[in-house]
Structure 1
Amino acid sequence: MDPLSVSIGFLIGTATGAAGTYYGNKYTDERRKKEIASSDNATLDKLWANHSELLAEMKSDMDNPAYFHHRDFWMLDSQWMFNHDGPYLVYHIDVHSSLEQQLNILESHGVILDVSDSSKNVKKFQFTELFVEFLRSKKI
């Protein structure tokens, strides 16, 4: 075998291997993304079934144009005094049974985040974008 044939064979083999690896990884990544999205949708649907009253109120708030860009909300009792500038989202512990536990479940699934200030007596949470998109897309 002459060196030119060996070099060309080596280059073709390397290119074929690289292309195979690239396309294999590409399609595997796409499959994984679809599986994760499917898993996320199943989890969100299960959360909706288990916490429908609270999530329906959250959906209503997210569909309200006044709260279109709001992501933060507070957990309060309706008897408490709360001072905040401008419109804000609040869910009341005396309206929703076991609200704190429901919010802990939502937090454990990663759809909301606890962003409370440790120096304050009220709990503040934040919606994730994935959860906001889910709430807005949910048909009631």
Structure 2
Amino acid sequence: MDHPISDDPKSPLLPLHHDPDPIQQSQSFLSGLKSTLTLKTLFVLLGPLLCTIICLCVKLDGPVASRNMLAVLVWVFAWWFTEAVPMPITSMSPLFLFPLFGIASADDVAHSYMDDVIALVLGSFILALAVEHYNIHRRLALNVRFSNL
């Protein structure tokens, strides 16, 4: 039963009376399942899955934190190698994974991300992007060129 699309703003967006058809529901479920189970979804789940396997199966001589570090390293490497999640998320994942697995405190991890030299380099990159965005580099080059004439 087709419902015509109406331009009336008070008409309901979805049909009010719907008789469930089991065949249509199963096809809808299968299409939803196919759209969810993609290669990218598999790659996103690959990192935590490998981490879990390492935590459960690998026994290393030494503290448990060394095994957890290996597991987190494999998780981050899997996301980096497959590009399952955006690179900024992959690069920042140790900020929440290290404290979660008891490898290091959140303060120690955050301090290692924002060293003085890293802040200097990050600031210079931001400044370079601003110069490029507003074409200051071209304006400067044109001023230097025409000032010598």
> Which category describes the TM-score, using the shorter chain as reference length?
under 0.3
Normalised to the residue count of structure 1, the TM-score between the two structures is: 0.27
Higher-Rg member (1/2): 2
Which has the larger strand fraction?
Answer: 1
Relative contact order (alpha carbons < 8 A, sep ≥ 6): 1 or 2 greater? Answer: 1
TM-score (norm 2): 0.26
